[in-house]
Structure 1
Amino acid sequence: MEKLNIDCLVLIFDELLDDSNSLYSCLLVNREWCNLVVPILWAEYPHYYLRMKIAKEKLSNVILSCLPTSSKQLLFDNNIKLPLTNLSIPLTFNYVSFFKDLKVKTIYNIINLVFKKEILIGVNYSKRRNLLEQEIYKLYISQCKSIKSLEWKTSQSLPSFPGALTCFSQLYSLDIGIDYINPDNLYDMAQICKDLNELFVYNISQDILGLIYLIDVQKNLKNVSFDFKTKKKMCKELSITLARKGGTINNLTLYNSIGVISHSFLTSLINLKDLTIDHDNDCASYEEVKEFQKHLANSKFSDLQSLEIAADLLCFKELAMLVEKTKGNLSSIFIYTFSKSSENTGMFLKTISNHCPKIEYLSTYIGPKDLIYVKSLLMNCRNLINLCLRSLNENDDIGDELLDILTNFSPKVLTDITIYGGWKYSIDVLEKFFESYRGRKLRFFIYYNYIEYNIHIVDVVKKYYSEGIIIGSNLLHYSV
């Protein structure tokens, strides 16, 4: 049998990555296979096993064993005792050098293992903890040749550690906790990594020049997520910088951004495919909300595929204007609001019906006059798999009408339906709806207090569950 060359073997082993048992058996074949498989396994090992207590301790001990003698001596001199008794035999590989992700949880697990029997308070503990953290990060940065993903939530000056240029030069994803780091270190990181694809930043409250510079130097920034907290000053420069990246950003997520950053940059994101805006902070003024709505309505995301808006404000009209300007590639829409007004919900449904033929997942609201648009939606959007409808007016009783429309017009692939609303349902209409799903498998959920006291509806759901038509429902758990 002709021997496969190393490149072919690596390609094969990479394909086996999702089957860890098979990949593990490959390293037992011979020394050459072992040398090829171990780096692949250990590049993923921390990610898969961090939740398991025994595995976490083993992983932590392996990393501690890789510390150089100088670090171990420094820690010993500062009364930091390492639990290395079960790893007295020299390691076969330098396992740390294989890691591709540097996660905060991995560092915390090691620190907790070392100090688990100590009282974790006082200046002395803080100093020793900081020293241990420093040496662990130095180990990673000096040994890892190409970290792809970094969670940067520490005051340690990571870009200044020996080996940082090599370690971070191919960084793909960067997750920053602004509250933890020294902002000046962002300038140093910007000199090293300029090909970030993903950037996640948390707890932004004002413009940070180092962060703005880091964003500016990126050549291919595609996925951006910003989490804002109570504002100190308006983030004007950050908005301008994001506008300059409008040609590359495909995915954008904003948390609590209204009133903290100007959304004028949205109109510059000409290649956006996924947009998520989640705002649960009610500190925004009326003027700030109107400013957000204006920029949302003026934006044009032709290639948009996923839209998620969760906010304590009404913007169905603006969302309809946004959807109308897409090219029909939207496959997922999720809308959630705390508002109780159903203004323009029908307009939004109508727009989805007319402009989203590929929609598969939809969660939105309906008012008492919107059933005609629900019918149109079901008739035009035949790829719809998952539908969630919420009521903004609990006083309207449209339950039977809604079920009739779902019975007569639902596409064959629509098998996951959720309804939030204080509507009543006749038993015969409900049974007719379930009968229309014979030959299919339905997941059906209804949420409102009335259901809890209607034993007949619960009994009907349980009946069709026993017949295999309904495969999941919240009503199966009610005992009335």
Structure 2
Amino acid sequence: MTCQLPSDCFNEIFEYLEKDRLTLHSCLLVNRLWCELSVRILWRNVWDFESLWQQYPPSEKALSILNTLIACLSSESKELLYKSEIPVLTITSKLPLFNYAAFCKILSINYISKIIVYTLKDEPSRNHLIVEEIVKMFANQICSLRKLSYYHDCHINLYFPYFPGLKDLSELHCSSNLSSNFFYQLSQICNNLHTLNIEFNHYNVSLDELKSFISLQSNLKVLTLSANHASWDDIIPALKNNSKTITKLCLYGNRTNLPFSFISLFSNLQEFTLSFVDRDYVEDFKSLKYVSFSNLQTLKILYKGPRTEYNIKFLETNGKNLKKIYFGVSNDKSIKLTIANFCLNLRSLFVIFDRNELEILKTIFNNCQHLESIKIWCGTRHLTEKEVFETIANYSPNNFHELKIYNTSHSVVSLEDLESFFISWKNRIPKRLLYLIIIKYYFVSLDNYEKNMKLIEKYENLGIIKLRTKKFEEERNEEGY
């Protein structure tokens, strides 16, 4: 006799599959209960922003999702679209199997707009109509939205409807030049944001409602400010209410005269990211070089950052607490030596070593005895794989277990060098599995590809190493570029 589990048990089981989309798709065909449970999870973030956002023209999957949303529209909305003579999209009176829109927890208005603009080509008035009807449907159907992405779109001038589901919003990505009505509406029902990402644009709009909305937040932890064509200085006073709660701060920009002294307010800051196109744009960073952030554990400078002398002083003041440093731009030797001398509790490091800086790498390993992971560029202008392997084998501390290699040119590592490194790692005491992560797959030369892979497989089977390959874009996304 078969035993049928209660639906609540199935629901708990399916929740563990949230990130395994392939398995969830397989469950769609089992029975109606499994189908409904899978659909609810798959449609939470149906747009799968990491992979679909960059696709242009939009994929068939994206167009299929759009047609499904059209099918979910109310009879009044469908009638309105039908009268507008929109032949590209399938407008049907047949109701879909589920109310898919109600399952959404993550919504990007701009991505919907992008799909519609592509589908309807040069019909801006009809684009506006469809986007507005779909957003209106979401407003009526979603009872609890987790994440909203909504930036100013010159092609779509959207009137944002009243949206009760925003009361539970925890993550907002927006531009500063959205209508004041949008921020006013948010301030009435949404006061518990966890993450806020604002892109500052040069359009002449009042920021009063945006400032009011920010000042009403009570638990803001992650703040990202991007100064594309404008400055964030006007909203700084509104951030004071969250000066104790913000633990992660990311600043991006491509303009001059940006203020940085306000960062000293964030006494509980744990992660700090900077990325600019010119060092002159972060000149005001000098006001922070002696400020101590006792909880700061992660420092990332993804592109251009402060001047060398400012970086050195900041590291001297805060280096003892740092667990992770990520410098995605070349720096002179003094920066790396400062890391070696003042950042002794590091767990993870990425700096770019030039080909004559092997001794600095050895010094970092000797001084930073808690280091567990390092990312290194290898290539013509940088260290060779052989140099890196020998240094890792002979100088890395006991807890070290992860090596990331980004190849800037085709690898010149020989089969003998590779096996010598694996043997050295095998004989280390204490023994640890080494995670070898290749970010750009020039690691194995085409001539010796099969031999290299057989050798790697041999030492994987022995439990010595674990190889993983990553796309360059994947690594950049993980680090917040």
Q: Same fold (TM over 0.5)?
A: yes
Pairing 1:416–2:407 present: no
SS at match of 1:45: coil
The separation in 1 between residues aligned to 2:452 and 2:407, in whole angstroms, is 18
Distance 1:143 1:248, change over 3 A: same
Pairing 1:53–2:59 present: yes
User: Which letter does structure 2 place at the counterpart of 1:247?
Assistant: K
Q: Contact (CA 8 Å) 2:252, 2:275: kept in 1 or not?
A: yes
Distance 1:26 1:365, change over 3 A: closer
Pairing 1:384–2:383 present: no
Q: What TM-score, normalized by structure 2, do the two folds share?
A: 0.74
Q: Contact (CA 8 Å) 1:256, 1:279: kept in 2 or not?
A: yes
The separation in 2 between residues aligned to 1:267 and 1:217, in whole angstroms, is 21
Equivalent positions of 1:376-455 (< 5 A) are 376-378=364-366, 380-388=368-376, 405-411=391-397, 413-417=401-405, 436-437=424-425
Deviation at 1:76, TM superposition (A): 3.1
SS at match of 2:246: coil
Deviation at 1:24, TM superposition (A): 4.9
Pairing 1:246–2:237 present: no
Q: Contact (CA 8 Å) 1:345, 1:367: kept in 2 or not?
A: no
1:62-118 CA deviation, whole Å, 9 max, x = no partner? 111122222222233333336326x564322221111112122234324533x25xx
The residue aligned with 2:479 is none
The residue aligned with 1:78 is 84
Pairing 1:90–2:95 present: yes
- Residue among 308, 330, 349 paired with 1:315: 308
The residue aligned with 1:157 is 159
The separation in 2 between residues aligned to 1:406 and 1:269, in whole angstroms, is 37
> Could you tell me the percent identity over the aligned residues?
22
Distance 1:223 1:435, change over 3 A: same
Pairing 1:277–2:274 present: yes
Pairing 1:349–2:346 present: no
User: Which letter does structure 2 place at the counterpart of 1:43?
Assistant: R
The separation in 1 between residues aligned to 2:450 and 2:301, in whole angstroms, is 33
SS at match of 2:138: helix
Q: Contact (CA 8 Å) 1:389, 1:418: kept in 2 or not?
A: yes
SS at match of 1:71: helix
- Residue among 290, 293, 305 paired with 2:298: 305
1:214-251 CA deviation, whole Å, 9 max, x = no partner? 211111111111110244xx543323333431211121
Deviation at 1:335, TM superposition (A): 1.3
User: Which letter does structure 2 place at the counterpart of 1:39?
Assistant: R
Deviation at 1:311, TM superposition (A): 1.5
1:1-45 CA deviation, whole Å, 9 max, x = no partner? 776555433222212323345445656665555554432332243
Pairing 1:333–2:325 present: yes
Distance 1:432 1:312, change over 3 A: same
Q: Contact (CA 8 Å) 1:239, 1:262: kept in 2 or not?
A: no
The residue aligned with 1:451 is none
Q: Which runs of 5+ in 1 are unaligned?
A: 447-456, 474-480
SS at match of 1:311: coil
- Residue among 350, 357, 361 paired with 1:362: 350
Distance 1:265 1:35, change over 3 A: same
Deviation at 1:169, TM superposition (A): 1.2
Distance 1:333 1:54, change over 3 A: same
The residue aligned with 1:196 is 193
Pairing 1:176–2:167 present: no
Q: CA RMSD in A?
A: 4.5
Distance 1:259 1:59, change over 3 A: same
Q: Which runs of 5+ in 2 are unaligned?
A: 428-433, 460-464, 470-481
The separation in 2 between residues aligned to 1:95 and 1:300, in whole angstroms, is 46
The separation in 2 between residues aligned to 1:127 and 1:387, in whole angstroms, is 50
The separation in 2 between residues aligned to 1:4 and 1:45, in whole angstroms, is 28
Deviation at 1:318, TM superposition (A): 3.5
Pairing 1:62–2:79 present: no
Q: Count residues in correspondence.
A: 438
The separation in 2 between residues aligned to 1:12 and 1:399, in whole angstroms, is 44
Q: Contact (CA 8 Å) 1:307, 1:333: kept in 2 or not?
A: yes
Deviation at 1:382, TM superposition (A): 4.5
Pairing 1:187–2:181 present: no
Distance 1:351 1:79, change over 3 A: same
The separation in 2 between residues aligned to 1:191 and 1:273, in whole angstroms, is 30
Pairing 1:10–2:11 present: yes
Q: Contact (CA 8 Å) 1:345, 1:370: kept in 2 or not?
A: no
Distance 1:279 1:77, change over 3 A: same
Deviation at 1:282, TM superposition (A): 5.6
